[in-house]
Chain A
Amino acid sequence: QLQLQQSGPGLVKPSETLSLICTVSAASISSGSYYWGWIRQPPGKGLEWIGSIYFSGSTYYNPSLKSRVTISVDTSKNQFSLKLSSVTAADTAVYYCARGMPLSMFPMDVWGKGTTVTVSS
């Protein structure tokens, strides 16, 4: 059964870069047909799509975050990652990785458990 395992620091200092990794198990990213994405949820608030990537490396970003976001894929490790630069307290959130349905970025039908990231000095 497909699982997404998230890893990365839970505390990031202001102005630094947030980095998270999502490792895919029981399926190969390079097999194609799927998009892989990141979504976040600030404390007590709703969901926000950050961006998505296809196994080939094609990326799609939320315009409001585009200047600070990089999503990449490492097929050799069966992982995809998120980097968010110049973070502020407003970037404090639970970050989720997820898989899009076949041949479509949306909706996301398999989710990781989430990583709580706090931006604080």
Chain B
Amino acid sequence: QSVLTQPPSASGTPGQRVTISCSGSSSNIGFNTVNWYQQLPRTAPKLLIYSDNQRPSGVPDRFSGSKSGTSASLAISGLQSEDEADYYCAAWDDSLNDYVFGTGTKVTVL
């Protein structure tokens, strides 16, 4: 049972904006930065967002991250078919001394 909770699924039509939430606590999101990973089917995870809202080189600006208190969000604007994937938030947890991943959200493009 992960300490970072995400909705199991999210969906949208091409071009729409989709938002994924990640709920944590003061020992993880509330005190440490949040990262987001994208996992396409049958592939390794890919870093999408780091330090709450920074995009690695090569990640489209359609992807954006934000954080407020003990929750974080990933937004995908201009949804595309290739965005169909599982998305995981992650953060260091000071109480557990563990790098914890969220429960994961499967994004479907309708």
A-side interface residues toward B, CB under 8 Å?
39, 46-49, 62-64, 96, 101, 105-109, 111-114
Contacts and interface: CB of A to CB of B under 8 A. Distances in A.
Contact of B90 (A106, A111, A112): A106
Contacts of B101: 46-49
Of listed A47, A106, A111, residue having the most chain B CB within 10 A: A47
Interface residues of B, number: 22
Majority SS of interface residues in chain A?
loop
A62 B90 CA distance: 14
A107 B92 CA distance: 9
A51 to B, nearest CB: 10
Contacts of A108: 45, 47
B103 A63 contact: no
B2 A46 contact: yes
Provide the main secondary structure of the chain B interface.
Answer: strand
Interface in B61-110: 88, 90, 92, 96-104
A72 to B, nearest CB: 19
A107 B37 CA distance: 9
Contacts of B50: 101, 107, 109
Given A46-B101, A47-B37, A101-B50, A106 B45 contact: no
Given A46-B88, A46-B102, A46-B103, 4 more contacts: A46-B2, A46-B104, A63-B98, A106-B99
Contact of A49 (B98, B102, B103): B98
Interface of B: 2, 35, 37, 43-47, 50, 56, 88, 90, 92, 96-104
A114 B44 contact: yes
23 contacts: A46-B2, A46-B103, A46-B104, A47-B37, A47-B45, A47-B90, A47-B101, A49-B98, A49-B100, A62-B99, A63-B97, A63-B98, A96-B44, A96-B45, A105-B99, A106-B90, A107-B50, A109-B47, A109-B50, A111-B45, A111-B46, A112-B44, A114-B44
A111 B56 contact: no
Q: Which of B37, B44, B46, B100 gathers the greatest number of chain A CB atoms within 10 Å?
A: B44
B67 to A, nearest CB: 14
Nearest to A113: B44
